[in-house]
A and B are shown apart, each in its own frame.
Chain A
C-alpha cells in the first residue's frame, strides 16, 4: 500500500507527513531527476503502508520539473491524501479537483483548520464532503488535531466518477463550490501579519533582513561553540586521548601503521588537529570540529525555512540578485550553500533557465564556503584573530558580486522574473523541524565521515610513498612564487578535492603566517569544489558547462589568491 501526500507548496504537507510516519524516514532522489522527496512508513490496521511526501505542486499540468515528478508519482500510488490549506480553499481546490478526475482514491485533509477561525473564514465541511464525494477531515498538523481521524478514515477514500474538465471549467467549478461552502467575515490584522507586511517593505524589510541574518550567524556560532567547548572537546580530551596515548605506546610511538592509525606525535603527544591519523584527526575533525556547525547551521536554516521567512528574503534580494543575472529566489540555494554546496547546486533547479542555473551554481561553487569549511576557518584562522576571518569572508563576498556582474554580462540569455507565493509567518513545527534536522545531520555523517577517513588514509599512504613531494616540487613555482605559500600547501589544495575541511586542517602543521593562512583558506574555498559537489555540478550543468565553470573557478582562485598575497 502506497499513500501519496499531495498539495500546493506551504500547506503543511511535511508536517502531516512527520505526524503520520515515525522518525525513520528516507530522503531519496526521484530516478533520473534531481528532485528529492521523503518517504516513511505508517501502521494501517495490521499492515505497514508506505507514505510519500510528494513535492509541492499547484497543478497536474506541470510547469517545472518538481511538478513533473509529482505527476509521475501519482501513477505509482494507491491512495492520495490531498492536503489543502483551509485558509486558501479556492486555489487549493483546483489541484484537488484535478486529483478527483484521476482514477485514484482521494481523501482530503483540510489543514490549518485553526487558522480559519481567527481569519474569519467559515467552511461547511459536511457540504464540502457531499459536493466532492470523498472524505474531508479538518486537521491542524502542528498540534496533531485530526491526524488520528485522517488515519482512521484513510480506507474510506474513494475515487468518485468525475469527468475530465478543461482549465476554465475547473476554475468555474471551484468558484461554484466556494460559493456554497465558504463564508468570510471581516477580521482584524494579527501582529504576525503586521510583521509580515513590514518584512517585505524595502526599508523596514531591509533592517529586518540584516537583523535576522546577523542573528542567525551569531546563534549558529553560539550553539556550535557551546557544543564544541562543553561537549565534544571534553569528550575527546578526557575519554579518547588516554585511549589513543595508550595505543600509541603499545604500537611503539611510530612506524607506518602507527602513523596511519594515530598519526605523527606532536611534541610527544597526540594532537587531534595536526597528527592526522585515522583515529585522531580522522574522528576529531568530522565529530568535534565540523558536526557542531552542521547541527547548528541546519537548526537555524530549518527555523528560517519553517517560519516562512525565506520567500520574504527572496523578494527583498530580488533587485540585488538581478545585478548578478539572477532573481531573488536564487538567494535560497545560495543560503543552502553555506551548509553544503551539494544540496545548494541541486536547489538551483528551482531557477527557470539554464543560464541562471549556470550562474548560480558557479557563484555558489566559487564564493560560498560550506559549513565544514567554515568550521575549520573559524577554528584555525579565528585563532589568529577575527580580523583575518573577516578578510576571508569579505574577499569571498567581493568575489561573489564581482564575478556575478561579469557573468551577468558574459553569459547569453535573459533573467526570468520572480514569481513566488509568500506564505504567512508561522510558528515552526518542532517535530517536523527536528525530523528534518536529523535527516540533514545523518546525511552529513553518512556521506562525510567515510570520505574524511578515506582522504586521511590516502594522504598518509601518498606521504609514505613520497608522491606528494614530487607534486609539491612540480607546482612550487605557482604555489610559492605566485600565492606565497610553502610548496607543501599544494597537498592541501589537492586534498581539497576530497574534503575541504580536511584540507584546511592540513594547513595547520605548516606554520603559516596569518596572511598565508588567509590566502590558503580563500584559495581552498574558491579553487575547486569537493568531489561530491563536483559530481552534482557535472550532472546539473553537463560536461561543457562544467568545464567552463571549473575554468572560471581555477582562474578566479589564482587571481584572487595572487592579489591577496600582494596585499597581505
Chain B
C-alpha cells in the first residue's frame, strides 16, 4: 500500500482517495462530483505537458486539471503482476 498523488498514479492503476489538500472551494467542487476521501477511483490517462488527468469514479469519467490532481492523494492498490 502506497500513498501517491493522482498525477503520479499510473494509468490503469486504482486506489482510494486518502486526502485532498485544497481549500474549501476546491473540496466542494470535487465533492459535487462525488470525489471525496474514501472513494475508489481508477486513473485512465494523464495528458502530456501538464494536461488534465482523467479518472473513472462510479462509472463516470472526470477530467481534473494538472494542478488539482497534484493535490489529491491516493492510496494505491497493490497491483498483481
Q: Mark B33-45, 1 if CB is under 8 A from A, else 0.
A: 1101000000011
- B2 CB to nearest A CB, Å: 25
Judge whether A388 is part of the interface by a CB distance below 8 angstroms.
no
Contact A201 B45 (CB under 8 A): yes
CB distance from A544 to the nearest CB of B (A): 26
CB within 8 Å of A: which B37-75 residues:
44-45, 47-52, 54, 58-68
Report A422 CB to chain B, min CB distance, Å.
Answer: 4
Q: How far is the CB of B70 from chain A (nearest CB, A)?
A: 10
Q: Does A90 contact B65, Cβ atoms closer than 8 Å?
A: no
Given A418-B63, A419-B63, A315 and B54 contact (CB-CB distance below 8 Å): yes
Contact call A91/B64, Cβ cutoff below 8 A: no
Residue pair B60, A421 in contact (C-beta under 8 Å): yes
Query: Does B32 count as interface, using CB distance less than 8 angstroms?
Result: yes
Shortest beta-carbon distance from B55 to chain A in Å: 10
Other-chain residue from B34, B50, B58, B62 in contact with A419 (beta carbon distance below 8 A): B62
Give Cα A57 to B15, complex, Å.
Answer: 27
Instruction: Give the number of chain B interface residues (Cβ < 8 Å).
Output: 29
A contact residues around B68 at 8 Å (CB): 417-419
For the complex, give the distance between the alpha carbons of A122 and B48 in Å. Answer: 37
In the bound assembly, the distance between CA atoms of A91 and B39 in angstroms comes to: 12
Which of A59, A196, A202 touches B47 (beta carbons < 8 Å)? A202
Q: Tell me if A264 counts as interface (CB < 8 A to partner B).
A: no
Expressed in whole angstroms, the Cα–Cα distance for A464 and B25 within the complex equals: 60
Bound-state Cα–Cα, A88 to B59, Å: 6
| Chain B interface main SS type | mixed
Closest to B58 in A: A90
Report chain A residues within 8 Å CB of B25.
Answer: 63
Closest to A196 in B: B61
Question: B11's closest neighbor in chain A, by CB?
Answer: A201
A:391-423 near B, CB below 8 Å: 416-423
In chain B, positions 6-33 with a C-beta closer than 8 Å to chain A are 25, 28-33
CB distance from B50 to the nearest CB of A (A): 6
Question: In this complex, which of B30, B31, B48, B62 has the most chain A Cβ atoms within 10 angstroms of its Cβ?
Answer: B31
Find A319's partner among B31, B51, B60 (CB 8 Å cutoff). Answer: B51
Distance of A61 Cα from B28 Cα, bound (Å): 9
Pairwise interchain contact A418-B50, C-beta atoms closer than 8 A: no
A311 and chain B: residue at smallest CB distance = B63
Q: Measured between C-beta atoms, what is the minimum distance from B43 to chain A in Å?
A: 12
B-chain residues with CB within 8 Å of residue A202 when the two chains form the complex: 45, 47-48, 51
* In the complex with contacts A58-B32, A418-B52, A314-B59 CB distance below 8 A: no
Q: Can you list 8 A-B pairs, Cβ within 8 angstroms, ordered by A?
A: A90-B34, A121-B59, A197-B45, A201-B45, A311-B63, A315-B52, A421-B61, A422-B60
Known: A315-B63, A316-B47. 17 other contacts (CB 8 A): A59-B32, A91-B58, A121-B59, A167-B31, A200-B61, A201-B45, A315-B52, A316-B51, A318-B47, A318-B65, A319-B49, A319-B51, A418-B65, A419-B64, A420-B63, A422-B61, A422-B63
Where the two chains meet, the residues of A that have a C-beta atom closer than 8 Å to any C-beta of B are 58-59, 61, 63, 87-88, 90-91, 94, 119, 121, 167, 171, 196-197, 200-202, 311, 314-316, 318-319, 322, 327-328, 416-424
